[in-house]
Structure 1
Amino acid sequence: MRTPLETSAVGATAGLPPKGPAQLLFWRLFIINGLLFAIGTLVLALSPATVSSPVLLTEVPVLLIGLALILAANAALVRASLAPLDALTTVMRRVGLLRRGGDRAPEAGNGDLEHLIRTFNEMLDRLEAENSASSALALAAQEGERQRISRELHDQIGQSLTVALLSLKRVVDRSPDELREESLVAQAAVRASLEEVRQVAQRLRPGVLADLGLRSALSSLGSEFSRSSGIPVVWELDDDLPDLSGEVELVLYRIAQEALTNVARHAHATRVDFALTSTPEGLTLRILDDGTGGEFREGAGIRGMRERALLIGAELTVAARPSGGTDVRLVVPGVGARS
């Protein structure tokens, strides 16, 4: 028995290139047409029908009927052979690499096209794996950069503003009456800038997530959202959430953060329902608003949410609600132990 390598060598020596799907498809169509013409020739040879020279008018219908039968049989056989390509084309048009286990073409049909479709599905699997790995590296670098900027804001700019605020306090205490009002305005502006810097640093690196856990971090996020946007948040957080890894907690926090940011920017909502619950499907994060909703295009924000969901094998759906508004739903089918 020859090994695959020996078989390849024999084929190369004989000058026979390996047959790919295109070559197999060519031979399939060639054989179909050859068989049809052979059958047509055999029928003409064995039938009592004859063709005069020149062709008589009474013989024209017979020839046309025979030609029509051959063409119809050829069209039916070729169409049946190429039918799986329609399904493959449909999947190619709608496939997306940011959806876990996305569309796959059904591996049906004759052997050569089935091999082609299977190869296409395997290519999608590889692309999804490579895209997930690339996204993981990019998001890890992004989180590292967020932490660096957060530290610099807190340690450098925050401390500088604190020093400036203390200096302004001494200036206000010593300033004459005609300059006191301007000094107080400057002091208030520096205090507001310091508070903004602290909020930005907290959004970049949620220290409460590492210190107090996911529930406290989400509650703090919702409180800050309500305070800045004026939109009330109705909470539903399970008391007995399963133990989560640090990566899963960070993904849940970032997706909730981005969803609330989208509500504040685009939804024109008057209420947000926020739920983190354990369901038979897995851990489910759901954020619903009563805003405008409707048709929307997925921008960089939603794309980033999908990339983060892929990192933990979660399924993210963003859809318009029938009553108006948007429904963001993240399902984590499996969770790991806390790292």
Structure 2
Amino acid sequence: MSDRTPAQALFWRLFVINGLVFAAGTLVLAVSPATVSSPILLTEVPVLTVGLALILAANALLLRTSLAPLDALATLMQRVDLLRTGDRMADSGNSDLTHLIHTFNAMLDRLEAERSASSAHALAAQEGERQRIARELHDEIGQSLTVVLLGLKRAVDRAPDDLRPELHAAQETVRASLDEVRQVARRLRPGVLEDLGLHSAMSSLSSDFSQVSGISVTREVDADLPALGADAELVLYRIAQESLTNVARHAHATRVELSLTADPGAVTLRIRDNGRGCVRQDGAGIRGMRERALLIHARLTIDSPPGGGTEVRLVIPNTVERSR
């Protein structure tokens, strides 16, 4: 590869193109019968005008062809998104701009790798914080509420009849608060995923969602899913959890379809609702889902198909590393 910089290469290309055009124009004038008098005659003006027009047209055509990759490069710069990987510019064979194209593609590779690494650290820290909070909710607040519940039970047993209804009401309030704390702890730390596996975790997630939101969930999970790594299973669970949360908050749906199927080349998670189909592509939740998908080199698509509703599809290729 030449040691010239892209600016130097572009300068010399323009210089050579203009030189060739002017040399060709000079050669045509030299071998043609056209002559120019001094002063210029009116009959010679059209000849000069046509010659100048041809030179300018040839120069414009050559320059446009030579600089066309720059337009494609500018278009790619405008649409590039590090959360949607693989968008690269193909080498057009223009030797002077090949270095610029390769440098830009290498920059995108480096930025995507750095973004993936930083996202992995951030999400790992987030999962660690979730586990810590879930432990504290379960071990500290949960146990404290349990002690309060037992104390209320003893108080009810010894209380006079006229106070028992109020103590029973307080008892039910504490019991409901304890259930809510346990539900929050389960959402923060999917213990069922670690203890019973992905199939049971998806079933539990769907059941909890239906119970809390009142939205019916039709579930289809293949019984013979291939063995996925712990990271891939956690990404699947979190994306399903975030998708169902979005349905409950924004979709105004009455029915959700959740499927997790194994194809010959991939494992596919699909969640579709029958709501109003409003998709916030720039929402923090969706961006988090895209970042999680990138961690395991999966492809995430979110759209509103005809007939309303929203469909979330996560495709995990079988090339994803499976490790425990």
Superposed counterparts of 1:285-324, under 5 Å: 285-294=269-278, 296-324=280-308
Aligned to 1:147: 131
Superposed counterparts of 1:273-284, under 5 Å: 273-284=257-268
Aligned to 1:92: 77
C-alpha deviation, 1:177, in angstroms: 4.1
Distance in 2 (alpha carbons) for counterparts of 1:337 and 1:35: 60
Aligned to 2:191: 207
Distance in 1 (alpha carbons) for counterparts of 2:92 and 2:323: 44
Superposed counterparts of 1:120-131, under 5 Å: 120-131=104-115
Out of 9, 19, 23, the residue aligned to residue 24 of structure 1 is 9
Distance in 2 (alpha carbons) for counterparts of 1:278 and 1:294: 28
**One-letter amino acid matched to 1:53:** S
The question of 1:37 aligning with 2:22 is answered yes
The question of 1:81 aligning with 2:75 is answered no
Distance in 1 (alpha carbons) for counterparts of 2:284 and 2:127: 16
Superposed counterparts of 1:1-339, under 5 Å: 18-100=3-85, 102-294=86-278, 296-334=280-318, 335-339=320-324
Distance in 1 (alpha carbons) for counterparts of 2:256 and 2:133: 30
TM-score scaled by length of structure 2: 0.95
TM-score scaled by length of structure 1: 0.91
| SS state at 1:303 partner | helix
Aligned to 1:14: none
| 1:281–1:331 contact (8 Å) kept in structure 2 | no
Distance in 2 (alpha carbons) for counterparts of 1:20 and 1:157: 64
Distance in 1 (alpha carbons) for counterparts of 2:101 and 2:32: 43
Q: Structure 1 stretches of 5 or more lacking a match?
A: 5-16
| SS state at 1:216 partner | helix
**One-letter amino acid matched to 2:30:** A
Q: Evaluate the alpha carbon distance shift between residue 338 and residue 41 of structure 1 in structure 2; reply closer, same or farther with a 3 A threshold.
A: closer
Answer with 141-150 or 33-42: which moved more: 33-42
Distance in 2 (alpha carbons) for counterparts of 1:20 and 1:90: 22
- Listed one character per residue, the Cα deviations across residues 115-164 of structure 1 (whole Å, up to 9, x for unaligned) are 21121111111111111111111111111111111111111111111111
C-alpha deviation, 1:44, in angstroms: 2.4
**One-letter amino acid matched to 2:5:** G
C-alpha deviation, 1:18, in angstroms: 3.8
Distance in 2 (alpha carbons) for counterparts of 1:156 and 1:34: 82
| 1:36–1:74 contact (8 Å) kept in structure 2 | yes
Distance in 1 (alpha carbons) for counterparts of 2:261 and 2:207: 19
Answer with 18-27 or 70-79: which moved more: 18-27
| SS state at 1:272 partner | strand
Distance in 2 (alpha carbons) for counterparts of 1:281 and 1:231: 32
Identity %: 71
| 2:265–2:317 contact (8 Å) kept in structure 1 | yes
- Listed one character per residue, the Cα deviations across residues 316-337 of structure 1 (whole Å, up to 9, x for unaligned) are 1111111111111111112444
Once superposed, what is the RMSD of the aligned Cα atoms?
1.8
**One-letter amino acid matched to 1:42:** L
Aligned length: 323
C-alpha deviation, 1:42, in angstroms: 2.8
Answer with 48-57 or 107-116: which moved more: 48-57
Answer with 44-53 or 131-140: which moved more: 44-53
Distance in 2 (alpha carbons) for counterparts of 1:338 and 1:113: 43
C-alpha deviation, 1:41, in angstroms: 2.3
- Listed one character per residue, the Cα deviations across residues 48-90 of structure 1 (whole Å, up to 9, x for unaligned) are 3222333222211111111100100000000000111222222
C-alpha deviation, 1:179, in angstroms: 3.4
| SS state at 1:224 partner | helix
Q: Structure 2 stretches of 5 or more lacking a match?
A: none
